[in-house]
């Protein structure tokens, strides 16, 4: 991969060189043309203009050739770099597996990659061309008329430093504000489109439309301001350009009309070249944050070269002071957990207690802020990520049903599963009746939209059973089932022989008397732990949850029995 980047560096250097040559030809063309026109006014013999004529033709031709070469080499280098960055980005994403990224975050990342291209083609190449071109103009003027050199240098300084700084500042301030307003408008538009039915039902369509209108006018106002600032910066650049050329003309007037005209026009072009720095600075400011995000992601450490093999059968899981943070918020706080091989642990607690996060921490799908996860006594990182993925999995809240047949959706977990194993998995997951009702049975094509929430969950549960991992993590597997079926399924999970080590997140407590241990979580912490009988017999959060469940079921509050 390094070789691929260094190959791109050479191409990029070639593009910079071609860009510089194109600009030097442009300067040469202007200087020669200006000299030729001014000299022609003196009506010399044609032969005196011969060299200038050749120079004008030559510079004009080569300017186009070099410009083309610059574009070709620049785009070639940028596209190669982009391809290499994308490959590395997907590798890095694979390594950090999930880590709280959703589809829109991934889309954002891919558009970040496009900024790498913008930075190269719209900032780096124009900036290098501007500096090399402007510098060459200065050298030419200073050599022909040393006195005019400082005058042009002053003009170049204003055009090449102050103007880009002003442009960058405006891009930074207004660009960020415009992005916020654009998001606001997009969100308001989406609300109007996707929530049209609900808005109509509640008579809130006009209000939502007005909110979107207000967001649109706020954006338009800001964009007008941005356009005004950008126009002002461009106008100032133009004034600096003309003023510099006039000042050079004045300072060189004693060198004769021909030389003075040539120097003035050369200065005009030199400042014009340097003014490209304004656009380059704007682009750099816009693209830099995205490029930094990409660079940070690419720094995700490569997996260790060698990895331990995972022992066969159910595996022991240990969490040692595991903490997870999302931004400034701690959602899992120093959780300790030991689950021996083949043991079955249930996790309960109110919504937002951190139960799903705990499962994600065990599987390594979210990075720990502090603490560690051990699998069979060794840190997760000591095993190959693919081995961990296969050994520690199950049913996550955001598990996906693929647009394929029921059979294909299940075989994804174990392509070599027999029909008997497939049938056993759907029976255990209570999906058999749903399957029988499907028009083509196992061969029925399904999508996330064609199944009900409960059916989707049961199909995914069947897939988790079929996978039969060494550590089975189940997040609310009984969601969408009636309470009797849900309790029967939970009881099966906790009592049937075989299977891997189980960590089960559930909100139904009725069948938990069969669990080896129950963890009660609240606010990211384990607030109570123990077997059902012990927890149910003392006042505390578990007893409260149990009382609530029994009250809802209309049963007497005698949970310890
Ligand atoms: N990707 C994320 N970014 C930011 N905060 C998150 C993210 N995922 C979860 N959280 C927050 O972490 C906390 C714990 O979430 P978690 O999903 O683990 O709770 P839970 O106990 O499983 O809840 P529920 O029973 O409702 O599924 C919640 O407050 C949630 O808002």
Mean pLDDT of 164-193: 88
Task: Look at residue 560 and tell me if it is in a domain.
Answer: no
Mean pLDDT of 374-381: 88
pLDDT given for residue 559 in this prediction: 47
Ligand 1 midpoint to CA 288 (Å): 32
Residue 320 has pLDDT above 50, yes or no: yes
Is the distance from the beta carbon of residue 63 to the nearest atom of ligand 1 less than 6 Å? no
Ligand 1 midpoint to CA 352 (Å): 5
- Chain Cα centroid distance, residue 435: 38
Q: Same structural domain for residues 517 and 477?
A: yes
- Work out the burial of residue 37: count CB atoms within 10 Å of its CB; fewer than 13 is exposed, 13-18 middle, 19 or more buried: middle
Q: Does ipTM come in above 0.90?
A: yes
Task: Look at residue 351 and tell me if it is in a domain.
Answer: yes
Is the distance from the beta carbon of residue 508 to the nearest atom of ligand 1 less than 6 Å? no
Pocket perturbation via mutation, ligand 1, pick of 98, 101, 103, 326 by most ligand atoms within 8 A of CB: 326
Is the distance from the beta carbon of residue 425 to the nearest atom of ligand 1 less than 6 Å? no
Of all protein residues, the one whose alpha carbon is nearest to atom 29 of ligand 1 is 352
Q: Same structural domain for residues 284 and 433?
A: no
pLDDT given for residue 557 in this prediction: 53
Residue 494 has pLDDT above 80, yes or no: yes
Task: Look at residue 311 and tell me if it is in a domain.
Answer: no
- In this structure, the number of other CB atoms found within 10 A of the CB of residue 52 comes to 19
Is the distance from the beta carbon of residue 545 to the nearest atom of ligand 1 less than 6 Å? no
Question: Among 53-57, 78-82, 509-513, where is mean pLDDT lowest?
Answer: 509-513
How many alpha carbons lie under 13 Å from residue 322 in its C-beta half-sphere? 29
Cα gap 211→206, rounded to integer Å: 9
pLDDT given for residue 126 in this prediction: 94
Cα gap 375→485, rounded to integer Å: 32
pLDDT band at residue 301 using 50, 70 and 90 as cut-offs = low
Question: Among 77-86, 297-306, 338-347, where is mean pLDDT lowest?
Answer: 297-306
Helix (H) / strand (E) containing 335 = strand 329-339
Q: Of the candidates 271, 298, 325, which is a domain's last residue?
A: 298
Identify any residues that bridge with 522 across adjacent strands, giving them in sequence order: 525
pLDDT given for residue 412 in this prediction: 84
Q: Same structural domain for residues 13 and 139?
A: yes
Q: Same structural domain for residues 525 and 400?
A: yes
Q: Of the candidates 264, 298, 332, which is a domain's last residue?
A: 298
Identify any residues that bridge with 502 across adjacent strands, giving them in sequence order: 344, 472
Quickly tell me which residue has 């079926």 as its tokens.
485
Q: Which of 64, 66, 60 is nearest to 29 (CA)?
A: 60
> Domain limits at 506?
317-553
Q: Which of 370, 331, 330, 355 is nearest to 518 (CA)?
A: 355
Q: Same structural domain for residues 284 and 411?
A: no
The domain spanning residue 205 has which CATH number? 1.20.1560.10
Q: Which of 407, 441, 437, 439 is nearest to 425 (CA)?
A: 407
Quickly tell me which residue has 């909110």 as its tokens.
211
Identify any residues that bridge with 325 across adjacent strands, giving them in sequence order: 330
Residue 365 has pLDDT above 90, yes or no: no
Cα 232 to Cα 228, 229, 311, distances in angstroms: 6, 5, 69
Kindly report, residue by residue over 85-114, the tens digit of the pLDDT. 888 877 777 665 544 455 556 667 777 888
> Strands 501-505 and 471-475, how do they pair?
parallel
Cα gap 123→111, rounded to integer Å: 17
Q: Of the candidates 266, 298, 330, which is a domain's last residue?
A: 298
Task: Look at residue 262 and tell me if it is in a domain.
Answer: yes
Task: Give helix 2-40 / helix 125-144 axis angle, nearest 10°.
Answer: 40
Q: Same structural domain for residues 396 and 514?
A: yes
Q: Same structural domain for residues 385 and 339?
A: yes
Task: Look at residue 434 and tell me if it is in a domain.
Answer: yes
Cα gap 215→292, rounded to integer Å: 30
Task: Look at residue 166 and tell me if it is in a domain.
Answer: yes
Ligand 1 midpoint to CA 93 (Å): 21
**Alpha helix ranges (H) inside 41-102:** 50-96
The domain spanning residue 482 has which CATH number? 3.40.50.300
Q: What's the DSSP call for residue 301?
A: P
Q: Same structural domain for residues 291 and 360?
A: no
Is the distance from the beta carbon of residue 328 to the nearest atom of ligand 1 less than 6 Å? no
Q: What are phi and psi of 98, to 5 degrees?
A: 80, -85
Residue 134 has pLDDT above 90, yes or no: yes
- 288 — alpha (psi -120 to 50), left (phi > 0) or beta? alpha
Kindly report, residue by residue over 216-270, the tens digit of the pLDDT. 999 999 999 989 988 998 899 999 999 999 999 999 988 888 899 999 999 999 9
Q: Same structural domain for residues 379 and 253?
A: no
Cα angle for residues 498, 500, 503 (degrees, 5° grid): 125
Of all protein residues, the one whose alpha carbon is nearest to atom 31 of ligand 1 is 352
Tokens of 430: 């209570």
Mean pLDDT of 530-536: 90
Q: Same structural domain for residues 260 and 368?
A: no
Mean pLDDT of 271-291: 91
Task: Look at residue 207 and tell me if it is in a domain.
Answer: yes
Contact of 359 with 505, CB cutoff 8 Å: yes
Q: What's the DSSP call for residue 504?
A: E
Write the CB contacts of 244 (distance below 8 Å, at least 6 apart in sequence).
Answer: 151, 152, 154, 155, 156, 158, 159, 267, 268, 271
Q: How many domains does the chain have?
A: 2
Cα gap 207→197, rounded to integer Å: 14
- In the chain, DSSP finds a helix count (H) and a strand count (E) of 18, 12
Is the distance from the beta carbon of residue 326 to the nearest atom of ligand 1 less than 6 Å? yes
Residue 66 has pLDDT above 90, yes or no: yes
Mean predicted lDDT score pLDDT of the chain: 87
Q: What are phi and psi of 446, to 5 degrees?
A: -125, 155
Task: Look at residue 496 and tell me if it is in a domain.
Answer: yes
Ligand 1 midpoint to CA 116 (Å): 33
Contact of 317 with 362, CB cutoff 8 Å: yes
Q: What is the dihedral of CA 193, 195, 201, 207, to 10 degrees?
A: -70
Helix (H), strand (E), coil (C) string for 28-57: HHHHHHHHHHHHHCCCCCHHHHHHHHHHHH
> Strands 329-339 and 317-326, how do they pair?
antiparallel
Is the distance from the beta carbon of residue 101 to the nearest atom of ligand 1 less than 6 Å? no
How many alpha carbons lie under 13 Å from residue 54 in its C-beta half-sphere? 5
Q: Same structural domain for residues 274 and 347?
A: no
Is the distance from the beta carbon of residue 138 to the nearest atom of ligand 1 less than 6 Å? no
**What is the three-class DSSP state of 557?**
coil
Of ligand 1's atoms, which has the minimum distance to the CA of residue 326? Answer: 4
Percent of the chain predicted with pLDDT > 70: 93
**What is the three-class DSSP state of 97?**
coil
Q: Same structural domain for residues 247 and 353?
A: no
pLDDT given for residue 457 in this prediction: 87
Task: Name the residue with higher pLDDT: 518 or 85.
Answer: 518
Residue 495 has pLDDT above 70, yes or no: yes
Mean pLDDT of 365-381: 88
How many alpha carbons lie under 13 Å from residue 363 in its C-beta half-sphere? 28
Cα gap 453→311, rounded to integer Å: 36
């Amino acid at each position: 991969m390094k070789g691929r980047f260094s190959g791109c560096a050479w191409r990029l250097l070639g593009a910079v060189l071609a860009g510089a040559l194109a600009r030097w030809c442009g300067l040469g063309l202007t200087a020669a043309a200006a000299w030729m026109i001014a000299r022609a006014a003196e009506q010399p013999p044609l032969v005196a203009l011969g060299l200038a004529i050749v120079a004008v033709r030559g510079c004009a031709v080569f300017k186009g050739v070099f410009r083309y070469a610059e574009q070709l080499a620049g785009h070639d280098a940028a596209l190669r770099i982009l391809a290499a960055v994308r490959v590395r980005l997907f590798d890095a994403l694979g390594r950090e597996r999930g880590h709280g990224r959703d589809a829109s975050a991934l889309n954002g990342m891919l558009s970040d990659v496009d900024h790498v291209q913008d930075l190269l083609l719209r900032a780096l190449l124009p900036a290098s061309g501007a500096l090399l071109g402007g510098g060459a103009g200065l050298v030419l003027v200073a050599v022909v008329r040393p006195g005019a050199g400082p005058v042009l240098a002053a003009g170049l300084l204003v055009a090449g430093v102050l103007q880009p700084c002003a442009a960058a500042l405006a891009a930074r301030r207004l660009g960020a504000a415009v992005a916020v307003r654009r998001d606001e408008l997009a969100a308001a538009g989406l609300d109007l489109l996707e929530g049209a039915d609900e808005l109509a039902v509640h008579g809130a369509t006009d209000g939502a439309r007005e909110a979107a209108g207000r967001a649109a006018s706020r954006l338009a106002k800001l964009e007008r301001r941005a356009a005004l600032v950008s126009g002002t910066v461009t106008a100032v650049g133009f004034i600096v350009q003309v003023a510099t050329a006039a000042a050079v003309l004045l300072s060189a007037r004693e060198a004769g009309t021909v030389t003075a005209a040539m120097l003035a026009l050369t200065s005009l072009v030199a400042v014009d070249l340097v003014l490209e720095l304004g656009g380059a600075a704007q682009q750099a400011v816009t693209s830099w944050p995205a490029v930094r995000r990409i660079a940070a992601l690419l720094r995700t450490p490569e997996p260790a070269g060698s990895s331990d093999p995972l022992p066969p059968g159910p595996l022991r899981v240990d969490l040692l002071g595991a903490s997870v943070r999302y931004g400034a918020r701690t959602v899992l706080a120093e959780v300790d957990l030991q689950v021996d091989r083949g043991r079955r642990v249930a996790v309960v607690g109110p919504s937002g207690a951190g139960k799903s996060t705990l499962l994600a921490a065990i599987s390594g799908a979210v990075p720990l802020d502090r603490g560690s996860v051990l699998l069979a006594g060794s840190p997760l990182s000591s095993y190959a990520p693919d081995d961990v993925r296969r050994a520690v999995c199950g049913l996550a809240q955001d598990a996906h049903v693929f647009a394929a047949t029921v059979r294909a959706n299940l075989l994804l977990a174990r392509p070599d599963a027999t029909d008997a194993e497939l049938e056993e998995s759907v029976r255990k997951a209570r999906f058999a009746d749903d399957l029988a009702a499907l028009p083509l049975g196992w061969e029925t094509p399904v999508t996330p939209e064609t199944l009900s929430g409960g059916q989707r969950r049961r199909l995914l549960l069947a897939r988790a059973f079929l996978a039969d991992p060494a550590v089975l993590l189940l997040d609310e597997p009984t969601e969408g089932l009636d309470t009797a079926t849900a309790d029967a399924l939970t009881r099966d999970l906790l009592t049937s022989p075989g299977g891997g080590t189980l960590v089960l997140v559930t909100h139904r407590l009725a069948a938990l008397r069969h669990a080896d241990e129950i963890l009660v979580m609240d606010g990211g912490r384990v607030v109570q732990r123990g077997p059902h009988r012990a927890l149910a017999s003392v006042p505390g959060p578990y007893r409260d949850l149990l009382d609530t469940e029994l009250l809802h079921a209309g049963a007497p509050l005698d949970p310890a029995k």
